[in-house]
């Protein structure tokens, strides 16, 4: 186990680094997963250099205190460093989901809110929005440059256009989504932190087209970025490699998660209401699915992605501990040390404007 966390400030800018680990799927009631200190040491022992922290989990942190206290944030960083990891980002997936909830899903998502707010959608939304503002300030105090969240969804029940949607319904949904998120984006702008929406089914921002529509609605806000997770794109049958080419300037975070899609005569993209293990599209541990990570890591390196490769473990077959152990090595093997010189420099020739013009027959 490393005794000190990597100094993120000293790492080469424009470099994909890792491995990092998103803690949400590993936190539990038993040691070493029941508090920040022990799970951070476990992550370091398992081979990770950073952790991504779900900000709403009291086992990890007090978000409101982190937003107000630099001493508390310094303590959090110090505890993680002593355990052997850095903090890569904070997450508000749960809180972001509650920024926008369609009434059809209200009771289900009530479980994400504090008990006192359940059954009160307006109070729940106000709480979620305040949580995002707190996360912006906490991220700033922790010296982080990106933050992970969900967009929430007002339109997801209408993702398939049957019955026919009335004219203007989608425009109205995105206008309201932008109205709720624009002040939050401004808070992240003030904090100097990118707000990265995980492109994910069940969210209004679930593919490139919906993200572009949101960007238009928030006037292409500079802090509106993407958390790139290829597994969600594969299960929608998107070109997840071309997605990087198209949106690389807006990709601010990277979840390394594998998946497979094997349609058959019974079910396809929608899955036939089946459990995860029986669906044609399933999340898998790293290396067990169909995602072409060699190309993904190459493209992100080519475009100078400056951030962490963070494992998000989700698998319907393999145990999480095994997935974590294998995942750290998998990410490390895919990291690319960017070339510092051209491979054919050994055959370099003298260059000058005069010579170039002479070679072209211009002089």
Residues 33-54: tens digit of each pLDDT: 999 999 999 999 999 999 999 9
Question: What percentage of the chain has pLDDT greater than the value 90?
Answer: 92
Q: Tell me the pLDDT band of 8, cut-offs 50, 70 and 90.
A: very low
Q: What is the pTM of this model?
A: 0.94
- Average pLDDT estimate for 25-36: 97
Does some domain include residue 291? yes
Structure tokens of 334?
A: 């895919």
pLDDT at residue 342, as a whole number: 86
Domain that holds residue 333: 8-359
- Is the predicted pLDDT of residue 338 greater than 50, yes or no? yes
Does some domain include residue 3? no
- Average pLDDT estimate for 335-358: 90
Does some domain include residue 28? yes
* CA 32 – CA 196 distance, rounded (Å): 29
Q: Name residues whose C-beta falls within 8 Å of residue 335's C-beta, 6 or more positions apart in sequence.
A: 16, 17, 18, 297, 309
pLDDT in tens, 227-270: 999 999 999 999 999 999 999 999 999 999 999 999 999 999 99
* CA 181 – CA 251 distance, rounded (Å): 18
pLDDT at residue 214, as a whole number: 98
pLDDT at residue 45, as a whole number: 98
* CA 19 – CA 256 distance, rounded (Å): 9
The dihedral region occupied by 225, where left means phi > 0, alpha psi between -120 and 50, and beta the remainder, is beta
Rg (the chain; Cα; Å): 22
Does some domain include residue 30? yes
Beta-ladder partners of 310: 20, 255
Does some domain include residue 183? yes
Q: What angle do CA 281, 96, 93 make, to 5 degrees?
A: 50
Secondary structure letter of residue 151 according to DSSP:
-
- Average pLDDT estimate for 300-312: 97
Provide the domain count of the chain.
1
Structure tokens of 352?
A: 């000058």
Q: Name residues whose C-beta falls within 8 Å of residue 168's C-beta, 6 or more positions apart in sequence.
A: none
HSE, side-chain direction, 13 A CA sphere, residue 231: 22
CATH code, 19: 3.20.20.150
């Amino acid at each position: 186990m490393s005794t000190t966390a990597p100094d993120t400030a000293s790492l080469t800018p424009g470099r994909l680094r890792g491995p990092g680990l998103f803690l949400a799927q590993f936190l539990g009631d038993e040691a070493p997963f029941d508090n920040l200190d022990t799970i951070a040491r476990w992550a370091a022992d398992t081979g990770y250099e950073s952790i991504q922290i779900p900000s709403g989990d009291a086992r990890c942190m007090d978000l409101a205190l982190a937003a107000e206290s630099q001493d508390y944030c310094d303590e959090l960083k110090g505890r993680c460093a002593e355990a052997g990891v850095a903090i890569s980002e904070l997450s508000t997936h749960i809180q972001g989901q509650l920024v926008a909830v369609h009434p059809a899903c209200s009771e289900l998502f009530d479980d994400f809110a504090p008990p006192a707010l359940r059954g009160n959608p307006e109070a729940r939304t106000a709480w979620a929005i305040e949580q995002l503002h707190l996360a912006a300030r906490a991220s700033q105090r922790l010296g982080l440059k990106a933050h992970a969240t969900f967009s929430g969804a007002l339109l997801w029940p209408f993702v398939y256009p049957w019955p026919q949607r009335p004219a203007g319904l989608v425009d109205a949904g995105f206008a309201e989504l932008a109205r709720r998120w624009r002040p939050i984006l401004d808070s992240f702008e003030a904090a100097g932190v990118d707000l990265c929406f995980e492109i994910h089914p069940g969210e209004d921002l679930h593919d490139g087209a919906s993200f572009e529509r949101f960007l238009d609605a928030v006037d292409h806000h500079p802090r509106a970025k993407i958390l790139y997770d290829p597994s969600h794109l594969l299960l929608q049958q998107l070109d997840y490699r071309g997605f990087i080419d198209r949106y690389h300037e807006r990709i601010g975070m990277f979840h390394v998660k594998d998946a497979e899609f094997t349609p058959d005569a019974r079910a396809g993209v929608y899955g036939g209401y089946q459990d995860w293990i029986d669906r044609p599209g399933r999340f898998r541990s790293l290396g067990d699915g169909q995602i072409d990570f060699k190309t993904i890591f190459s493209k992100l390196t080519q475009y100078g992605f400056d951030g962490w490769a963070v494992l998000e473990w989700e698998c319907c077959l393999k145990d999480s501990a095994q997935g974590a152990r294998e995942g750290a090595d998998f990410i490390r093997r895919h990291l690319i040390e960017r070339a510092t010189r051209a491979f054919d420099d050994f055959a370099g020739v003298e260059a000058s404007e005069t010579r170039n013009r002479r070679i072209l027959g211009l002089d």
